[in-house]
Amino acid sequence: MTDMITIRGFVATTPTLNKLPSGLPVANFRVASTPRWYDAQQQVWREGTTNWYTINSYRALAQHANRSIFVGQPVIVTGRLNVKQWSNDDGRKGTTVEIDASAIGHDLNLGTSSFNRAIQPDTQGETQKSSIPDTSENGQHNGISSESETFHPSENAGDNAPDTHGLVEGNTTNNEAVTAMV
């Protein structure tokens, strides 16, 4: 089955980063997706059946997901749907639903996030400089080394910068960027 699918849900397991025998990085984690709706007649929120997905990501997406995705965070995943039937030695049968992800991101309906651009090595293995200025202290931002940089639209867009409505960025102890009102 090669259907493309997009799901919303919450990360249920810590991503694990491994390498295939070829050296290709692969990260796997599980996402729980539960439909929720408001029942106007009963004036209560209702929840449907939870669907569980195993998310597989490869190459740079695997490495970035491993550094960016944590248990409990709301995510949106797009990728190729794989439904697999299985049975074990005891005769027990089941179905596994996997998504080979092409994109993973935080669900911004439920919070804020920050973006750190990954700097890719050139064909000779030399790290390329980004046109984005380094706005961090000592080459570090949110605990991440200078291999990645944070993009600040207000510093890079000149007069076309969006209004941040009084929001400023701060650091937390677990290396996640947060936004606070001033």
pLDDT for 103-124, tens place per residue? 999 999 999 999 888 876 655 5
Query: What per-residue confidence (pLDDT) applies to 60?
Result: 95
9-18, 44-53, 137-146, 164-173: which range is least confident on average? 164-173
The Cα–Cα gap between 81 and 5 comes to 6
Distance of CA 123 to the CA centre of its chain: 27
pTM over 0.85: no
Q: CA 69: distance to chain centroid? A: 5
**Residues 149, 117: contact at Cβ < 8 Å?**
yes
**Contact by Cβ (8 Å): 134, 119:** no
Q: Where are the domains of the chain?
A: 4-106, 112-182
Chain centre to alpha carbon of residue 166: 26
pLDDT in tens, 121-134: 655 555 454 444 44
Buried (b) or exposed (e) across 2-22, using 16+ Cβ within 10 A?
Answer: eeeeebebbbbeebeeeeeee
The mean per-residue pLDDT over the stretch 157-173 comes to: 37
Mean pLDDT of 22-45: 96
| CATH superfamily of the domain spanning 4-106 | Nucleic acid-binding proteins (2.40.50.140)
Q: Does residue 156 surpass a pLDDT of 90?
A: no
In this predicted structure, the answer to whether residue 171 has a pLDDT above a threshold of 50 is no
Does the pLDDT at position 96 exceed 90? yes
